[in-house]
């Protein structure tokens, strides 16, 4: 029997990168999956097609996680289509790497609206709508431990995600819901590669004990484990998935 048989999973930002591989892996382990995306309609439909071709079940639902009304619709339409949501993976996120002195107020607001308000919006819906005994997995980042210069607003946004994780775990534990965050190190996706030189990439790949970049599959495997009933006693934790980087 597959470990997620009978479960329904919602993955935000699942059109690409870690979210797309997580959606595929959740489906491979028996979950029906809602593939959320914002702008990348074609890529999201491809993720759905890949899941269906491999014998799984998935639908794509567009919603901008930074917008409360979109996220309410995302939950309501998903529950109408699949009956419930057991697993919420808060993966949607953007990154900005600039010294604080060079970040505009608008750039800061946009980052916080997606990375923090987006997580707040889904947790707000999940508080009443996620099924009893469900699981929430939020995506933080190892930068909350390394505190690299140039990552100020991004690091602040993920610090907020970690605190929402710890508190939400205590608020919904009574319904049997466990809530955790995973903190990937540098992982080979568009978000990581954009704007980096080959030298930057090699330096960051060399910053963990394995001397390579993480792959989306390295992160998705841990998310699948945290979503399974075997991980129910893990809650309120921030789990580094970074090859001993920090
Ligand atoms: P990615 O390849 O750039 O993919 C980001 C995903 O987020 C896309 O599917 C995108 O969908 C979606 N998204 C962006 N804004 C959205 C919005 N407003 N509403 C809904 N979806 C939205 O990024 P990734 O590297 O896989 O990162 C996934 C998560 O892991 C992020 O939270 C990131 O901070 C975290 N993380 C990544 C790394 C890394 O090195 N890659 C390290 C630590 C943590 P559309 O294209 O459809 O808009």
Pocket-forming residues, ligand 1, beta carbon under 6 Å:
12-19, 36-40, 64-66, 91-95, 114, 118, 139, 141, 184, 186-187, 189-192
Q: Which atom of ligand 1 is nearest to the CA of 18?
A: 26
Buried b / exposed e along 120-154 (16+ C-beta atoms within 10 A): bbbbbbbeebbbeebbbbbbbbbbbeeeeeebbbb
1 domain-assigned: no
Mean pLDDT on 100-129: 98
- Render pLDDT for 138-175 as a digit per residue (tens, 0 to 9): 999 999 999 999 999 999 999 999 999 999 999 999 99
Mean pLDDT on 2-12: 98
193 domain-assigned: yes
3 domain-assigned: no
pLDDT at 1 over 80: no
Q: What is the pLDDT of residue 84?
A: 98
Is residue 234 very low, low, confident or very high in pLDDT (cuts 50, 70, 90)? very high
Mean pLDDT on 184-199: 96
Q: What is the pLDDT of residue 107?
A: 98
246 domain-assigned: no
Question: 30 CA distance to ligand 1 centroid (A)?
Answer: 24
41 domain-assigned: yes
Question: 92 CA distance to ligand 1 centroid (A)?
Answer: 4
Count the neighbouring beta carbons within 10 Å of the beta carbon of residue 28: 17
| Mean pLDDT, all residues of the chain | 98
The residue with tokens 């508080």 is 127
Q: What is the pLDDT of residue 68?
A: 98
29 domain-assigned: yes
Mean pLDDT on 29-35: 98
114 domain-assigned: yes
2 domain-assigned: no
Question: 244 CA distance to ligand 1 centroid (A)?
Answer: 22
Ligand 1, from 14, 17, 114: best to mutate by most atoms within 8 Å of Cβ?
17
pTM of the full structure: 0.99
**CATH number for the domain including 31?**
3.40.50.720
The answer to whether 219 and 18 have CB atoms below 8 angstroms apart is yes
Dist CA 127 CA 206 (whole Å):
40
pLDDT at 67 over 80: yes
pLDDT at 50 over 90: yes
Q: What percent of the chain has pLDDT over 90?
A: 100
Mean pLDDT on 185-207: 96
Is residue 200 very low, low, confident or very high in pLDDT (cuts 50, 70, 90)? very high
Mean pLDDT on 64-69: 98
What is the number of structural domains in the chain? Answer: 1
**154 is an active site residue:** yes
Question: 186 CA distance to ligand 1 centroid (A)?
Answer: 13
Instruction: Look up the domain containing 59 and give its range.
Output: 8-241
Which of these is catalytic: 37, 57, 151, 154? 154
Q: Which atom of ligand 1 is nearest to the CA of 66?
A: 18
pLDDT at 101 over 90: yes
What's CA 58's distance to the chain center, in Å?
A: 17
Ligand 1, from 21, 41, 93: best to mutate by most atoms within 8 Å of Cβ?
93
Q: What is the pLDDT of residue 17?
A: 98
């Amino acid at each position: 029997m597959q470990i997620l048989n009978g479960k329904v999973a919602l993955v935000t930002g699942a059109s690409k990168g870690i979210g797309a591989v997580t959606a595929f892996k959740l489906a491979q382990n028996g979950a029906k999956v809602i593939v959320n995306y914002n702008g990348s309609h074609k890529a999201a439909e491809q993720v759905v097609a890949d899941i269906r071709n491999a014998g799984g079940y998935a639908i794509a639902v567009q919603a901008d996680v930074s917008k409360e009304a979109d996220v309410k619709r995302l939950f309501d339409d998903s529950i109408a289509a699949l009956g419930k949501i057991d697993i919420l993976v808060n993966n949607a996120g953007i990154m900005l790497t600039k010294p604080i002195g060079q970040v505009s107020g608008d750039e800061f607001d946009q980052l916080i609206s997606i990375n923090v308000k987006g997580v707040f919006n889904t947790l707000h819906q999940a508080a009443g709508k996620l099924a009893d005994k469900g699981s929430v997995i939020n995506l933080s980042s190892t930068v909350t431990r390394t505190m690299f210069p140039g990552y100020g607003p991004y690091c602040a946004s993920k610090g907020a995600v970690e605190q929402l994780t710890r508190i939400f775990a205590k608020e919904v534990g009574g319904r049997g819901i466990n809530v955790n965050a995973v903190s990937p190190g540098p992982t080979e996706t568009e978000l990581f590669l954009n704007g980096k030189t080959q030298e930057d990439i090699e330096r960051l790949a060399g910053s963990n004990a394995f001397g390579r970049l993480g792959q989306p599959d390295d992160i998705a495997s841990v998310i699948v484990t945290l979503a399974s009933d075997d991980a129910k006693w893990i809650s309120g934790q921030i789990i580094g998935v970074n090859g001993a980087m920090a």
